[in-house]
Structure 1
Amino acid sequence: MKRAVRAWLAALSLTALPWLTLPAQAAPSTVTAYSEVAPMSDAQFWAIIEVTTPYRADADAQAEALRQTLTALAPAEVLAFRDAFERQMQRAYRWDLWAVTHIAHGGASDDGFDYFRRWLISRGQPTFERILSEPDSLPDSLSGDNEGVLEAEAFGAVATEVWIERSGRTAEEMPPPKSAALPGDAPVGEPFSEDPARLAARFPKTWARFGAAPLG
């Protein structure tokens, strides 16, 4: 699996993403400081995610593709990617998205909703933006490569793992996300009722697909 991912990335060539820097060979102390790195743009962030989407049918392979891509960045840039990831997580921190997650899985804890948002990001920008625009379009966005629960726990941990490997530091030494990347205290929007009739009325497509037979 790892060999296949590396081969695909080699064929892609990092010249397709000209803003990426090559792996730094110097000691961690010589790498540009996190505080001096400009925030990663949405275009840069989604370009990295797009590199991984051919492997999205296999969560492990997609996480490995992300790992290989982030390894081409300096540690401070990996942190910038982490912050960009958290910004997208914040955008999806909404009650209506939690509601469709609840319907699809027959329930969704805090962690379950977190892993759903990671999965949503892993689908790529077009799918992410479409579902943010209309959460009830979730069933329309699923294809044959969507099996089992709609979660991607490992995908959201890759940046931390790569930073530890590239910086030579520990998880405890990892700088926290910059304030702009932190989510609010509560999801945005109108809280949902778990009453089946109300869920069916508010999210008819998602209820028709999963109400009687949730995933997992």
Structure 2
Amino acid sequence: MDADRFWQVIEKATEHDPKTAEDWDTKLVAQLVTLPAHDILAWDRIFADITSRAYRNDLWAAAYLINGGASDDGFYYFRCWLIGMGRDVCMNALEDPDSLADVVEPNWLADGIDAEAEIYAAGFRAWQAVTGAADDAPYPVQNPKPELIGEDFDFDDDEEMRRVLPRLCKLIGD
């Protein structure tokens, strides 16, 4: 399992369609169970690495703007959604969170994005299905909480948010 194969699995399951986010986890599990257990674990390690790399203040600020707030759990779901949106969207957002202004549609902003798709558990559920492991079996892939990266600032400070995310702020009307 390499990065290219990881993204192929993501893209086949999610089709970059945020309107189907509630189905992403089921579709991902269906894709992953076709792989051997070691590939599922490798896929999940890549997933964990990307969510860790995305644990950044500027991305959290983007999630906060897009969803009208973002708790720690909400930001984790947002990072999962970001992966589900595909390689280009995710990598562009890691490079420049303000690039999400090219992805987010204004009509999403009333309710926020449906970021609670449980794709974070897809690897575990697929591994269980392939190995027959019990729910309480130790899972070989751990995803410890990373250190938050980047400048700390007040997400409720409109001036700071416009400095960090000018295009998203303009889109959202802040």
- Structure 1 residue aligned with 2:166, among 196, 204, 213? 204
- State which drifts further: 59-68 or 41-50: 59-68
Structure ranking higher on relative contact order (CA contacts 8 Å, 6+ apart): 2
Name which one, 1 or 2, has greater alpha-carbon Rg: 1
Whole-Å separation in 2 of the counterparts to 1:105 and 1:48:
27
Q: Is the counterpart of residue 94 in structure 1 residue 56 in structure 2?
A: yes
Q: Name the TM-score, length of structure 1 as normaliser.
A: 0.70
Given that residues 103 and 211 in structure 1 are in contact (C-alpha distance below 8 angstroms), is that contact kept between their aligned partners in structure 2?
no
Given that residues 101 and 171 in structure 2 are in contact (C-alpha distance below 8 angstroms), is that contact kept between their aligned partners in structure 1?
yes
Superposed displacement of residue 102, structure 1: 1.1
The equivalent of 2:141 in structure 1 is 177
Give the alignment of 1:14-163 within 5 angstroms: 40-54=1-15, 56=17, 57-143=19-105, 148-150=111-113, 151-163=115-127
Given that residues 106 and 211 in structure 1 are in contact (C-alpha distance below 8 angstroms), is that contact kept between their aligned partners in structure 2?
no
Q: Which runs of 5+ in 2 are unaligned?
A: none
Post-superposition CA distance 1:157-202 (Å, at most 9, x none) = 2111122222211233132426xx6452x21111122212221232
Given that residues 115 and 153 in structure 1 are in contact (C-alpha distance below 8 angstroms), is that contact kept between their aligned partners in structure 2?
yes
Moved over 3 A (4+): 143-148
Q: Is the counterpart of residue 164 in structure 1 residue 133 in structure 2?
A: no
Identity %: 31
One-letter amino acid of the structure 1 residue matched with residue 52 of structure 2: Q
Given that residues 10 and 86 in structure 2 are in contact (C-alpha distance below 8 angstroms), is that contact kept between their aligned partners in structure 1?
yes
Superposed displacement of residue 127, structure 1: 0.7
Q: CA RMSD in A?
A: 2.3
Q: Name the TM-score, length of structure 2 as normaliser.
A: 0.85
One-letter amino acid of the structure 1 residue matched with residue 127 of structure 2: W
Given that residues 55 and 61 in structure 1 are in contact (C-alpha distance below 8 angstroms), is that contact kept between their aligned partners in structure 2?
no
Whole-Å separation in 2 of the counterparts to 1:69 and 1:145:
30
The change in CA–CA distance for 1:144 and 1:99 in structure 2 (over 3 A counts) is closer
Q: Which runs of 5+ in 1 are unaligned?
A: 1-39
Whole-Å separation in 1 of the counterparts to 2:60 and 2:39:
30
Given that residues 115 and 152 in structure 1 are in contact (C-alpha distance below 8 angstroms), is that contact kept between their aligned partners in structure 2?
yes
The change in CA–CA distance for 1:164 and 1:80 in structure 2 (over 3 A counts) is same
Superposed displacement of residue 116, structure 1: 0.2
